[in-house]
């Protein structure tokens, strides 16, 4: 009955001829009904969720699946430099799947990769600790300052992001080299009698990473500290707690979600850092980002490089899950 009423409202000229049935279906289920379906089922929250979902699907899930597939491929001297996982043989009559686990076995047998992973984790952990020791007092001072000074301090924290990351790292070369600014100032003040070796050392790598990722430590800490109820400190003082005791008993436990979030935001990208160790670090000690780049572009061993990337992701999976957990706790606390 509905179809017949729709056909009755449909112009008779469109129902005639061989395209009549097709035009009738199009008239019943065409764009007007599609738009109504979208308005009723894909408006509001679903549309808002769909945009980041599609973004993550296209630029995270799909590349991850490609890298994951390459990690089980065999290297070959060709273009592209890897063998396909699935290949048709005997003129397309038989499909053969080649799954190579040798790339992961190679990572376990070659000590270069184990040492590189351990060194990268050590550098990232020490850099994260230094960033926390420097960033926590800064975030605390910003959170306890007045509105005008707070906005100024936050602008100064964000200001380095307005310049190129590569230029900021190159600037440290001019500061740390033998005839650089730091050695020249120390020599002129008589603190040292000969230039210090600062560049191309682990110290330079720590300085570069802490400087580059310090805002990622300060901003989550500030966001947490700024929400604290200061009457809790007043209550602790009324109960006889000194400022240090009140800080350790009240402020520090309440700020732990911000501490964890800031540490993970520094540690996770620092493990795979490539630019800073390449420009400021030692040539005899590689981080995993440099090894990954060399496998892809110098050795053209895409399967092994993909296996390195997958193992690195698995190592960072636990910190990522911890970060998500504390982010959820922060959101839950904000709703209260």
Beta carbons within 10 angstroms of residue 241's beta carbon: 16
Query: Is 193:236 a contact under the CB 8 Å cutoff?
Result: no
The dihedral of CA 203, 206, 210, 213: what is its sign? positive
pLDDT at site 121? 93
> What does the domain layout of the chain look like in residue ranges?
1-43, 105-335
What percent of the chain is predicted at pLDDT more than 70? 81
**pLDDT tens digits for 188-219?**
998 888 999 999 999 999 999 999 999 999 99
Grade residue 27 by pLDDT with cuts at 50, 70 and 90: low
**pLDDT tens digits for 301-333?**
889 999 999 999 888 887 778 777 767 776 676
Radius of gyration of the chain (CA): 29
Stated pTM of the model? 0.79
HEC string for the chain: CHHHHHHHHCCHHHHCCCCHHHHHHHHHHCHHHHHHHHHHHCCCHHHHHHHHHHHHHHHHHHHHHHHHHHCCCCECCCCCCECCCEEEECCCCEEEECCCCHHHHHHHHCHHHHHHHHHHHHHHHHHHHHHHHHHHHHHHHHHHCCHHHHHHHHHHHHHHHHCCHHHHHHHHHHHHCCCCHHHHHHHHHCCCCCCCCCCCCHHHHHHHHHHHHHHHHHHHHHHHHCCCCCHHHHHHHHCCCCHHHHHHHHHHHHCHHHHHHHHHHHHHHHHCCCHHHHHHCCCCCCCHHHHHHHHHHHCCCHHHHHHHHHHHHHHHHHHHHHHHHHHHHHHHHHHC
- Structurally, at CATH architecture level, domain 105-335 sits in Orthogonal Bundle (1.10)
**pLDDT tens digits for 102-116?**
889 888 888 889 899
Grade residue 118 by pLDDT with cuts at 50, 70 and 90: very high
């Amino acid at each position: 009955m509905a179809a017949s009423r729709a056909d009755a409202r449909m112009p008779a000229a469109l129902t005639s001829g061989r395209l009549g049935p097709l035009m009738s279906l199009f008239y019943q289920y065409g764009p007007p009904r599609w738009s109504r379906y979208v308005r009723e089922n894909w408006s509001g929250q679903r549309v808002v969720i769909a945009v980041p979902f599609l973004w993550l699907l296209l630029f995270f899930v799909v590349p991850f699946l490609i890298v994951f597939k390459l990690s089980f491929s065999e290297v070959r001297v060709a273009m592209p430099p890897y063998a396909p996982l699935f290949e048709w043989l005997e003129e397309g009559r038989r499909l053969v799947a080649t799954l190579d686990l040798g790339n992961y076995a190679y990572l376990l047998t070659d000590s270069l990769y184990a040492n590189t992973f351990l060194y990268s984790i050590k550098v990232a952990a020490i850099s994260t600790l230094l960033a926390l020791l420097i960033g926590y007092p800064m975030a605390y001072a910003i959170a306890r300052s007045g509105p005008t000074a707070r906005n100024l301090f936050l602008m100064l924290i964000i200001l380095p992001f307005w310049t190129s990351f590569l230029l900021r790292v190159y600037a440290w070369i001019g500061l740390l080299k033998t005839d650089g600014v730091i050695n020249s100032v120390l020599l002129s003040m008589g603190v040292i009698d000969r230039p210090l070796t600062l560049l191309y050392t682990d110290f330079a790598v720590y300085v570069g990473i802490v400087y580059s990722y310090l805002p990622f430590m300060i901003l989550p800490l500030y966001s947490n500290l700024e929400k604290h109820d200061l009457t809790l400190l007043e209550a602790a003082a009324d109960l006889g707690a000194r400022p240090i005791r009140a800080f350790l008993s009240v402020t520090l436990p309440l700020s732990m979600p911000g501490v964890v979030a800031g540490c993970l935001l520094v540690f996770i990208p620092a493990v795979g850092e490539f630019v800073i160790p390449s420009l400021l670090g030692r040539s005899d000690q590689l981080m995993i980002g440099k090894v990954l780049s060399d496998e892809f572009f110098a050795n053209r061993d895409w399967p092994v490089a993909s296996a390195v990337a997958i193992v690195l992701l698995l190592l960072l999976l636990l910190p990522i899950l911890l970060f998500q957990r504390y982010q959820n706790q922060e959101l839950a606390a904000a709703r209260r």
